[in-house]
Every structure is written in structure tokens, then in C-alpha cells.
Structure 1
Amino acid sequence: MTTVSDRTALAEQVRARVLRAIDERADRLVALSHEIHANPEISYSEHSAAELVGRAAEEAGFTTEVGAYDVPTAVEAVAGDGDLTVAVCAEYDALPDIGHGCGHNMIAAMGVGAAGALAEVSGELGLRVKLLGTPAEEHGGGKVDLLLAGAWEDVTFSLMAHGSTGPDAPADAMRSTAVERLEIEYTGRAAHAAGAPTKGVNAGAAATVALTALGLLRQQLSPNVNVNAFVSHGGEATNIIPERAIVQAEVRAYDLDEWRELRRRVLACFEAGAIATGCSWQHRRTEHPYAPLAPHAGIAEIWDRNLVGLGRELDPDHVVGGGSTDMGNVSQVLPAIHPLVSVLGQDAVPHNAAFTAVAATPEADAAVLTGAKALALTVVDVALDERLRAELLDLHKSRPAGATRTTLDD
């Protein structure tokens, strides 16, 4: 019979081994972060980064596949054979022109570091460790591709950590929105703009009416939602009535029901443009929609405790919101967290060239190692918490087959 003192001794031993493993790999993890940072690759083009992550996982003893689940820049690496499966996510896509202005090079190194350390103690913890290299978070939704392909079907819980600036915050302080990105196309009829304007049906005017309607709609919208749009194609020449116009739009809300209602109202604005001008119109999603984050309270609490134990101070009033992540989709279908680790002493905002510079500083390197340790220690504590472990395993066993193979409906 295992006693409390036995479990305490095991926890101390395993936690010490995890920390030591990450310290021993510190130089390699920092080098991985810097190498990905120096060669930014945008969504679905992260071939070099995927190879680097895959190679690092192989060196750590994982059975590794680059191009997993028929996604060329996805990685799956597995170690251990316990009944509790954790998926640690590693992102590595960059932003167009800006590079790693969201610090995904840091995320990749944190994930690799945590997974490698956990693999070394998987036997003692009854743990199966799955490192998932998830491409195209900035645009596209690589995690949704992997969800639909079944990457999380065998997973009990999942986690990752994201770099940030400003003070450290609790794990549940990261608030993300549902987001859908749409392309709206209007089709009219071309005609000479001066010689035969009455013979034309103006697709550009349809786009103008729609964007005006959106501007007016904003007066009645909740501050918890956001709509953005721009005309990506509006005509060919000044002397031709535009036959075709294309608008790019995105719809965001923190609440899924509110997002669905907002989507309905936004599409009505685009329909108004067609009705007013006599154009035909159609719309399509340009990428997978993202769901809001729904962090698991028990796992989040353990993360907070470990981050503080590593010398960080949490500001309970610091809330980060407005953005979106495809980790939200994961958190909607199984227990998951997506906390932040601050690059201390920095105040650059994400998606800015200043953040790109910050993401390869010594302060960012320190955040990589802290994040890797906090992730690994959180998994250790979950695995050794008999009540929480049983709860998560019960949730996993009761989950219907195919329950994680989903995206947002309308």
C-alpha cells in the first residue's frame, strides 16, 4: 500500500529529475528557440522548424513522425506507455513580414523541453507523453487539422505555454475569442463607366454598402465582440464598372452563442450590399474557425502553483485578451490549459517587430526554460494527484469515440 510519505518522496524525486533534465538541456533548448527565430516560416510552410522539432524529439528518445496526420509540417512524437496520455503542444509558425512577433520559437522550445523531461520519468508516473508540433496557429488552424484527423483522440489532457510581456498572470487570465475569417465575393456586370454606366451592375458598390452597414452595426454591438473587414479586390480600372469585388472579414466574440448571433448579423450586412445593387454574392470560410479558450480549473491551479514555485509572481489583475488561438478548439473537447510566461522587463506588444526582437533576448531564453519547467512540473503533479488523475481518466474513458474530431459549427 502506497502511503502519503511514499507519494511525497516520489513526487520530490521525480520533480527534481525533471528540473535537472531541463537544466542539462538548457543550451540545446535555447539554441532551438534561436534557430527557429532566425528562420521565420509562415503557416503551413514551417518545414525547417518541423524538422528541428522532430530531430530534437528523436534525440530525446521519442518515436517521431514529421508530416503526421497528413499535415506536412506537423510533428508527432511519442514516448512512454502509461494509461495517462498528455499532449504537449509546440507551435512554430511566424507572421508574414514581422517574423516571430508572437514568440512561437519560444513555444516550440518550451514544448520540446517539457516533453523531453517528462519522457525520462514516464515510467514512474504511468505516463504516455505525446509532443505535437502544431503548425499554422497564426492563420489556418493547424490544431484543428490535427483534431479532425484524430491527434487528440487518445489524449487525456493537453497543455502548452505562450510567451508574453508585462507581469506574469494566472493561467486563466488568458481570454481568447472565437474567430471566423470569411471571404465574401460579389458578382455584377461590367460596363463602360462613362459610356454605358446604366448597363453595369456595380460589385464595388455592393462592397461599399456592406462595409457602411458594418460601420453602422458597430453602434449596437457589445464591447465583447469585434468585426474587421477590408476590400481585397474592388475593380480593374476606373473606366470599368466593377464586375467583381471581394471582401475579407473576421468575426470575433468571447462567447460562442454571441459569436453565432454576431455572425448572422454580419452576413446580413453583406447580403444588404447584394440586395441594394442587384449583385449576386457568396461567402466562404478561408480557414478553420477558432473557439474560445476554456482552461481546466484544476490543471490551471497546478500551473499557477508551479510558476510561483519557480520564482515568478502572479498579478491576479493582469488580464490578456482580444486575440484568438486554435488551442481554444482543443480546450473545448478535452481538459487543457494555455497559460502565459512573461519575458520579464519587456513591454513590446505581440504582432509587432519589437516583439520579434524581444523573442530572442536573454530574458526570452529565461522564459523558455521557466516555461518548460512549469509545464513539466504541472504534468508531474497532475499524474501524482490521485483524485485529479482519476477524474481526468474517467473523462477520457467516457468521451465518445470521435468526440475530439470537430470544429465550430455555424
Structure 2
Amino acid sequence: MSITLAADGAATDPDVRDRILGVIDRWAPELVGLSHSLHKEPEVGLEEYRSRDKISALLRSAGFEVAHPAGSPATALVARCGSGELVIALCAEYDALPGIGHACGHNVNGAAAVGGAVGLASMADRLGLTVKLIGTPAEESTGGKIDLLRAGAFDGVAAAMMVHANGSDEVGGSSYALALWDVRYTGKGAHAAAAPWCGVNAADAVTLAYQAVGLLRQQLPVGQIVSFIIHEAGQAPNIIPAGARASVELRASSMAGLEKLQEAVRRCLQAGALATGAELAVSQRGGEFAELRQDPGLTGAYVQAMATLGRIPFDAAGAPRASTDMGNVSQHLPSIQPMIGYDVGGAVHHTPQFTEHGITPSADLAVLDGARGLALAGAIIAADPAQRKRLLDQAGARKLVTKPHERPQK
């Protein structure tokens, strides 16, 4: 991806820039306090009631109208300020991981998005904007943004932005398409010594499937990953296991690749059932995550904005890493999810060590600089005639006829 800098326009006018930065500076204690509070009381996906309420309260005090979008998860929210024709959405994540809290830095993500919305809203009338803050739960599990897309929360939005916590500043990266399956084998219990031949061993079925997937990995194309864990495979050694449960996570560099990978893995699961006589049931947990597409125009505006803050993000275009439901948003409308960096002591995402660095002074600065970068990028785009027209034209032509990446489950 080539990075194109947005044209220099009213967004770099000292009045606009200073107003945005001044508003964010005034709200800095509340934004940092929000990040710390989210971190202190982590909530997993679809249980983020306290987190939702904290964000809602801050936005109301900043003059936003806050509502729950119909048809979306109970812990989602949509806040709105301004009445301009160009609608820019900032996505706030706030779910944590089970047992290890905010090990993906969503307290930083969420607080930065809130700050960006508050800062950009201060110039909404001058820039002809409507600013939406969309609270997106369950990114780590079922994919709240997919539900919000289906519920229409992104209808009319011309561009969507967020930042993600990281050990360095990056732009342009992609992500893996992802699907998560819950797998169950049902067999027949029997005495393991007196009459094992009367049983149908579900543990054998899940073991064979696990081994088949392991063998499949040798021949998977680059960019395809399968993760497999077994939750249960019997309760006592003297009973032939009548049931077994597992979870399988599938990733590919594109939705097309993900579909082919699912076909191959399903054959492995069916092999376990065929060999043992157990019954197989596969259900998908949440929606399929699409690969992330970063919009060059929005990326250029963000790079320009961060340069004014003394941050020069690394261009991470190339191989995907991790997965995000922001990918589904990006498939539907121009979007960005740059990485906002802070000192994580060499820790990687989804570890307790990453959690520990989420409320340091460096992380607090990332909250504020992330907010500043998002707000200034939105202002740059709004003030650039060519970019503004592009986004408005695309928004006008876009119709949500079929829901993005929603396919019947097989």
C-alpha cells in the first residue's frame, strides 16, 4: 500500500488545530482516568456494562447524544455530535480477555477513540461533520462490530477510524480473516474394562481430529493458521467417554482463503467421527472476521496528523497479523486502524505482561496522542475537498443490500 498524504487545508489552520488539541488537553484527566478505570475493572465480551456506562457518562458530559443501537449487543453504544453531511465514526473497544484483563490494550483503544471524538466534535460545525462514537463490544470473542454492521449502526458513515495499542507506532497493516468453531462429539458411554466394545469413544474422535489437523498444517498455504484446543474428553478413566468438546480457530489472509481452509478442517473433524462412529456437531461462535483493509487516504491524513505530534509511524503494509472485526467494517466502508505505540517492555499482546504496561505514563501519553491523531486526521479529511468528495460519493453510492461477510453456516 502506498501512503498518500492528504492536501494541506483548513485542518492545519492554527484555529482548527489549536481548538482540537486544546479541547483534548482539557479533557486529558478524564480520558486518562477512563483508561485507568477500564483497566482496573476489566470486563470480557458482552459483559462490559460498567465500561459502557463509563464511556457513555463521559460522552454525555461532553455534549454527545448517547443511545443504544437497536438490534446490537446490550453493551454497545452509539454517541453523536454535530449535524454535518460528512459522518465520521470513531470505534471504541473496551472488552478484556478472560483471566488476564486488558492484555490487548483495549483500555487505551477505547479511551483514545473517546478523546478523538470529543476533540473532533469541537470543530464539527466548522468542518461540516457529524461525529459518531460507536462503542464496539466483544472484539476478542464474537465480534461486536459485525453485529453493529448488521444492526445498521454504520449506515451513512463515510469513514471509520480507531487506534490500537501496540509497542510501536504503525500504519497500513492488515489482519487475518478468522472463524471460531465450537466442536462437539457425541459417543456412547460404557465400562472401560467390563464392556468397552459397547461404547463409542468420543475422546478417540476428538483425538483423531486433532491429529488430522496437525498433519494438515504441513500442506497449508502460507498465511493459513489453525489453532485447536480440547476442553473435555471424558470424566473418569474407567468410563468410555460419551462426549468430547473442543474449539478450533481458523485464520487466513483473506475471506476466500478462509472458506477453503474451513472445508479442509471440516474434513479432518469428519474423519474423527467416521473412524469412531461418534456424531459430530460444529457451530460457529460469532461472525467471521474479515481481513483488514486500510484506506490510503485516511492513512495519509493520520500520518500527517501524527507527524505534527512528533510521531512517525512505521509503514507495516505486508503480511497480516492477528485478527479484528474492524476488518469487517473496512470491507464495507473506508477505515483505518493504525497502531499507537507505548513502552510495553518487550511484551506481546495477550499476555499478563502486556496488561501490566497499560496504565503507565507511556500508555497514558498513547491515549492522548491517539486521540489527537484521530481527531486531527478527521479534520484533515473533512477540509480536503478531494478526500471529502470521495468519501461522500462513496457513502452515497453504498447500500447495505447484503450484510457484509454473512454466509449461511454449513
Band of TM-score, shorter chain: over 0.9
What SS is found at the alignment partner of 2:208?
A: helix
The equivalent residue for 1:203 is 202
Q: What's the offset of the Cα at 1:259? A: 1.2
Distance 1:134 1:45 in 2: 12
The equivalent residue for 2:114 is 112
Q: What's the offset of the Cα at 1:223? A: 3.0
The equivalent residue for 1:270 is 269
The equivalent residue for 2:289 is 290
* Aligned AA (2:392): L
Flag the 1:315–1:156 CA change in 2: closer, same or farther, 3 A: closer
Flag the 1:318–1:125 CA change in 2: closer, same or farther, 3 A: closer
Q: Does the CA-based 8 Å contact 1:203-1:277 persist in structure 2?
A: yes
Alignment of 1:168-187 (within 5 A): 168-169=169-170, 171-172=171-172, 174-187=173-186
Q: CA RMSD in A?
A: 2.0
* Aligned AA (1:324): S
What SS is found at the alignment partner of 1:175?
A: coil
Residue 314 of structure 1 pairs with residue 324 of structure 2: no
| Correspondence for 2:62 among 56, 60, 68 | 60
Structure 1 length-normalised TM: 0.94
Distance 2:407 2:300 in 1: 27
Distance 1:318 1:70 in 2: 32
CA deviation string 1:318-360 (max 9, x = no partner): 9784311111110011110011010047422111111111110
Q: What's the offset of the Cα at 1:258? A: 1.3
Q: Does the CA-based 8 Å contact 1:291-1:408 persist in structure 2?
A: no
Alignment of 1:341-356 (within 5 A): 341-344=340-343, 346-356=345-355
Structure 2: state its 5+ residue gaps: 1-7
Q: What's the offset of the Cα at 1:408? A: 5.6
Alignment of 1:70-81 (within 5 A): 70-81=72-83
Flag the 1:8–1:206 CA change in 2: closer, same or farther, 3 A: closer
What SS is found at the alignment partner of 1:116?
A: helix
Residue 239 of structure 1 pairs with residue 238 of structure 2: yes
Q: Does the CA-based 8 Å contact 1:150-1:404 persist in structure 2?
A: no
Distance 1:9 1:96 in 2: 41
CA deviation string 1:362-401 (max 9, x = no partner): 0000111110000000000110111111111111111124
Flag the 1:384–1:67 CA change in 2: closer, same or farther, 3 A: closer
The equivalent residue for 1:160 is 162
Distance 1:365 1:15 in 2: 21
* Aligned AA (1:152): F
Distance 2:86 2:231 in 1: 48
Flag the 1:101–1:320 CA change in 2: closer, same or farther, 3 A: farther
* Aligned AA (2:399): P
What SS is found at the alignment partner of 2:67?
A: strand
Distance 1:328 1:239 in 2: 47
Distance 2:319 2:350 in 1: 14
Flag the 1:149–1:346 CA change in 2: closer, same or farther, 3 A: same
Flag the 1:60–1:9 CA change in 2: closer, same or farther, 3 A: closer
Distance 1:54 1:366 in 2: 22
Structure 1: state its 5+ residue gaps: 1-5
* Aligned AA (2:169): D
Q: What's the offset of the Cα at 1:405? A: 5.8
Residue 398 of structure 1 pairs with residue 397 of structure 2: yes
CA deviation string 1:192-250 (max 9, x = no partner): 11111111111111111111111111111123111011111211221111111112101
Q: What's the offset of the Cα at 1:7? A: 5.2
Distance 1:342 1:10 in 2: 24
Distance 2:400 2:243 in 1: 45
Structure 2 length-normalised TM: 0.94
Q: Does the CA-based 8 Å contact 2:143-2:287 persist in structure 1?
A: yes
The equivalent residue for 1:23 is 25
Instruction: Work out the percentage of aligned pairs sharing the same amino acid.
Output: 41
Q: Does the CA-based 8 Å contact 2:87-2:131 persist in structure 1?
A: yes
The equivalent residue for 2:5 is none
The equivalent residue for 1:407 is 406
What SS is found at the alignment partner of 2:181?
A: strand
The equivalent residue for 2:47 is 45
Deviates most, 25-34 or 337-346? 337-346
Q: Does the CA-based 8 Å contact 1:148-1:406 persist in structure 2?
A: no
Q: What's the offset of the Cα at 1:9? A: 8.2
Flag the 1:382–1:318 CA change in 2: closer, same or farther, 3 A: closer
* Aligned AA (1:65): A
The equivalent residue for 2:3 is none
Q: Does the CA-based 8 Å contact 2:303-2:312 persist in structure 1?
A: no
What SS is found at the alignment partner of 2:314?
A: coil
CA deviation string 1:266-302 (max 9, x = no partner): 0000001111111221210022221110111111111
Q: Does the CA-based 8 Å contact 1:150-1:405 persist in structure 2?
A: no
CA deviation string 1:115-171 (max 9, x = no partner): 111111100111001101111111111111111111001211100001101x322x2
Deviates most, 11-20 or 308-317? 308-317
* Aligned AA (1:301): G
Residue 96 of structure 1 pairs with residue 95 of structure 2: no
